[in-house]
Amino acid sequence: MMRTRPLKVALLGCGVVGSEVARIMTTQAADLAARIGAPVELAGVAVRRPDRVREGIAPELVTTDATALVERGDLDVVVEVIGGIEPARTLITTAFAHGASVVSANKALLAQDGAALHAVAEEHGKDLYYEAAVAGAIPLIRPLRESLAGDKVNRVLGIVNGTTNFILDKMDSTGAGYQEALDEATALGYAEADPTADVEGFDAAAKAAILAGIAFHTRVRLDDVHREGMTEVTAADFASAREMGCTIKLLAICERAADGGSVTARVHPAMIPLTHPLASVRGAYNAVFVESDAAGQLMFYGPGAGGAPTASAVLGDLVAVCRNRLGGTTGPGESAYAALPVSPMGEVVTRYHISLDVADKPGVLAQVATVFAEHGVSIDTVRQQGKDGEASLVVVTHRASDAALGGTVDALRKLDTVRGVASIMRVEGE
């Protein structure tokens, strides 16, 4: 039997995502009520610019006083889609204190202060859901913390930023340079006017922190995630990747150590074989590859951003939280019982592709090979091309630690026959 008294929902933010949330709540009100067991009512919308026309939202619901809105005391759920650290953090904790559960899409805040927010939610007996914080419409958070709760997740490997994937895909498919591909992404609306958060990996790093924390039942903060951007990736790197049967993606990688005693989380460009499922992810789409003991290999794929896709994830959380509200219960909270240490990047072991500019004369290869051997880095393949006294030497290693590779490169730079290190890129997905 459906309850007639509506559940009251407040919306913090009414931009691209927030306006879609409000639209779906309005146009699909009957379906949402049937799925929840009670109608949902949009009780207020907090915005910064009240003079803008917001189609489908009654003007009397719009306010610039977000604090007063979350302090009302009669709200069941607060949906936060304003982003950033403050005032979002204070508004969320205030909402908990005044009796509301929270649905958020705020990856930056959750990556930085997720543990504290979960603690406040638990203190007040409220829900904190955030499916929309990672990979847009793709169901990922809930499968990790619910569907795979009985399994042991060992690795999460994914493309979690659509802007960077669009740029790299364009460079790969057309031969465009980085700036040319970025300009096209900006013109099409995939890249912001300031794309730094995307192209330097900050956005993906926040998502990696959230995924690692859930997958490994360990608190992983943004500061724990090693981050490298993709602005130095060149057309020559793609040419080298193609020669190896690979392409290049900006990846978020969260791994449990082989002995199970620690975890790592990192974001950086990497070569992956064309045979890997992630290699075929094109345009602005996202995909995440999960490896676990019992389930094996799983892949989640779909649009990772945009108003409607992200709103889909928000509404999914809203339905779940409203159902919990009606049942007088809460869903899963933070699970950090494992408390595994986060290893530094220097201990991460992977393969490497190193391109060197060297003198084209006898003995160079032997010198380079000696340096690799002295630092305990085993060489898999070597390719050398030379002309007019200069040569390009491409070395692909077996698996080695980041620290060992770093020492190797430092030593190579000291050789008189090495003119420079053209590029270094990790090889993943094997």
CB of 128 within 8 A of CB of 118?
yes
Find, among 46, 29, 26, 27, the residue nearest to 38 by Cα. Answer: 29
- Known catalytic membership, residue 107: no
CB of 402 within 8 A of CB of 343?
no
Burial of 216 (0-12, 13-18, 19+ CB in 10 A): buried
Catalytic residue among 107, 207, 361, 414: 207
Q: How far is CA 56 from the centre of its chain?
A: 32
Tokens found for residue 418:
């090495």
The letter for the amino acid at 329 is T
CA of 315: how far to CAs of 37, 160, 229, 289, 380, in Å?
15, 20, 32, 24, 49
Tokens found for residue 23:
């639209």
Query: Parallel, antiparallel, or unpaired: how do β-strands 101-104 and 128-129 relate?
Result: parallel
Find, among 206, 249, 197, the residue nearest to 224 by Cα. Answer: 206
Find the Cα–Cα–Cα–Cα dihedral 138, 130, 164, 295, rounded to 10°.
-50
Residues with catalytic function: 207
